[in-house]
Chains A and B, each alone.
Chain A
Amino acid sequence: MTDDRIAITDEELTAFLDGQADGALSARIAAALSSDAELARRLAALDAPVSALASLTPEALGAPAPPAWLAEPPAPARRFALLPLGVALAAGLAIGVLVGPALLATEPTAAPEPGWIGAVAAYQALYGPETVANGAQNSATTQAVLARFDDEFSLELAAITQIEGFELKRAQPLSFKGRPLLQVVFADEGGAPIALCALRVAKPDRSAVTEVAAGLAATHWIKDGVGFVVIGGQETAVTGAMAAQVMAKL
C-alpha cells in the first residue's frame, strides 16, 4: 500500500473530509489511515471545524434589509443609474473605502487634487431615489462617523445633521487616493439623493462654484483647507441652496 500512501494528496484528503470523494478514493483513504500515522496527522491538520462557517448566517452578521426599491414593480422610467453603471463604477474607482484609521494619520496632504470632485460625482451617480428610500442610519452611528471627521477637518460637523428641506440618511467614511473623504447622504423633499462630501485639500479658500459634474448638479467650495461639494440631481438651484445652508453652519 506504499504507493497508495504516496498518492494521497491534501486535495484528496480535503475532498474526503468534505464528503466529495468518490467511493474508491474514500475506501483508499480509510484503508491507508489505519496504518499510516503521517497520513492521519495530515488529515488532522486539514480537519478544520468548517461546519462553524455555517454560523455566518445573514441574520448573525446583521445583514441589512433589501433596499425598498427591490420590492417595487419596475418604475415607468428608470431613475437609477444616472450614468451608465459601468462608467460610473469605473470612474468611481478612485474612491475606495477607507480601510484603516492609520491612514488618517499617515497621509500628508499633498498636491491639489483636481480630480476628487469628478470621482465623487461618479460615485454619487450610483445612487438613485431607490437607494435612499430605506430608513436612515441610526443617529449614534452618524454622530460617530462625523466625530471622527471633526478631528480631520477641525470642524464641528454635528451642525450639518439638520439641513432644512433635506433628510439625513447616512454618513460614511470613504477615501480618495488614501485620504479620508466624508460622504453624508441626504434625501431631498422628493426623495432624491444628494450628498455632501468633504476632503482636506491643500488649496486656498475659494467661494462656491455651481456647475454640472458628470451629469449631476454640484456646488463646491474650499474653506480653511477643506474642500466641500454638494452634489446630486440635476437642479443646480437645489445644490446651491443646500450648500448655502452648509456654509452658514460650518
Chain B
Amino acid sequence: MGNNPGARFIRWGGENSAEAEIRRALPEVYPRLWRFCLVLAGRRDAAEDLAQATCLRAIEKSAGYTPGTHVDRWLFVMARRIWLNELRAGTVRRGAGLVPVEDAEIAEEKPSTETNILAREVLSAMGALPEAQRETAHLVYVEGYAYREAAEMLDIPIGTVMSRLAAARRSLNERLGPKETSA
C-alpha cells in the first residue's frame, strides 16, 4: 500500500525522483493504461487520446505521486478521474457502449487472428455492462487486482466491489457462459 512513513518523507523532497519514476514506468504501463482507457471510453481513438492526456497529466502532477508505491494504480486512478470529470459528458450523452460495429470497421486498425475473435467477443460482453460494473470487473478480472486494491482505486467500500462483481458475473455468464447448462 506504500503507507510507510519513509515514503511520505520522500514525497515532500522528491518531486524529481517521482517524476523520474513515472517517466520510467510510463512506456511499460502504457499498453495497460490504454486498455483501461478503452474499457472506459469504449473507442480506440478516444482511448488513445485519454491515455496520452493521462501521461501528460501524470508528468505535470508527478509531485502527487509517492515514489516507490504503485505507478500503475496511480495512473489508472488518474485516467479514470480525467474520464469521469472532464471527458465522459461528451460521449455519454450520445449513448455508451463499446465500439459500434460500423465505426470499428472503418476507423480501426486491428489485426484479425483467432485470439482476437475471442478478445472481441469478451470485449463486447464487457461493453454491455454498466460502467460501474465494467470498470470494477476490469480491475479485478482483467488486471487481477485484489478486491481491496480495486476498492481503493475506485474509492468505494469493498462490499460495493463485491456487489458490482456479482452483478457483472451474472451478466457475463449470460453472454459468455456455456449455453447448454440449465441447472
Contacts and interface: CB of A to CB of B under 8 A. Distances in A.
A56 B119 contact: yes
Given A11-B163, A70-B55, A99 B94 contact: yes
Nearest to A10: B166
B107 interface: yes
B158 to A, nearest CB: 10
B53 A62 contact: no
B146 A54 contact: no
Interface string A56-85: 111111111011001100100000110001
A47 B177 contact: yes
A175 interface: yes
B152 interface: no
B5 interface: no
Contact of A99 (B49, B97, B108): B97
B8 interface: no
Nearest to A63: B31
A44 B183 contact: yes
A63 B30 CA distance: 9
Interface string B34-69: 110010011111101100110111001000000000
Given A52-B176, A56-B142, A172-B45, A67 B52 contact: yes
B166 A85 contact: no
Q: Among B30, B52, B138, B141, which residue has the most Cβ atoms of chain A within 10 A?
A: B52
A148 interface: yes
Contact of A144 (B107, B123, B177): B107
A203 B107 CA distance: 29
A18 interface: yes
Interface string A1-42: 000000000111111011010000000000000000000110
Main secondary structure of the interface of B (DSSP, over half): helix
B165 A18 contact: yes
Contacts of A13: 166
Interface string A157-180: 000000000000000110100100
A89 B34 contact: no
A146 B66 CA distance: 45
A196 B116 CA distance: 34
Given A11-B159, A52-B122, A96 B94 contact: yes
B167 to A, nearest CB: 8
B27 A131 contact: no
B18 interface: no
Question: 10 closest Cβ contacts across the A-B interface?
Answer: A96-B90, A58-B31, A48-B173, A66-B30, A11-B162, A48-B172, A60-B119, A144-B106, A53-B141, A63-B31
Given A18-B147, A47-B169, A53-B122, 17 more contacts: A11-B163, A11-B165, A47-B177, A49-B172, A49-B176, A52-B122, A53-B172, A55-B122, A60-B115, A61-B123, A62-B108, A85-B56, A96-B87, A99-B103, A126-B49, A148-B106, A178-B93
Interface of B: 19, 23, 26-27, 30-32, 34-35, 38, 41-46, 48-49, 52-53, 55-57, 60, 82, 86-87, 89-91, 93-97, 100, 102-103, 106-111, 115-116, 118-119, 122-123, 126, 137-138, 140-142, 144, 146-147, 159, 162-163, 165-166, 168-173, 176-177, 181, 183
Interface of A: 10-15, 17-18, 20, 40-41, 44-50, 52-64, 66-67, 70-71, 74, 80-81, 85-86, 89-90, 92-101, 103, 126, 131, 137-138, 141, 144-145, 148, 172-173, 175, 178
30 contacts: A11-B166, A14-B169, A46-B166, A47-B169, A49-B173, A52-B122, A53-B137, A54-B144, A55-B119, A55-B122, A56-B35, A56-B126, A62-B109, A63-B30, A64-B34, A70-B55, A89-B53, A90-B86, A96-B87, A98-B103, A99-B95, A100-B95, A100-B100, A100-B102, A101-B100, A103-B94, A137-B109, A141-B106, A145-B106, A173-B107
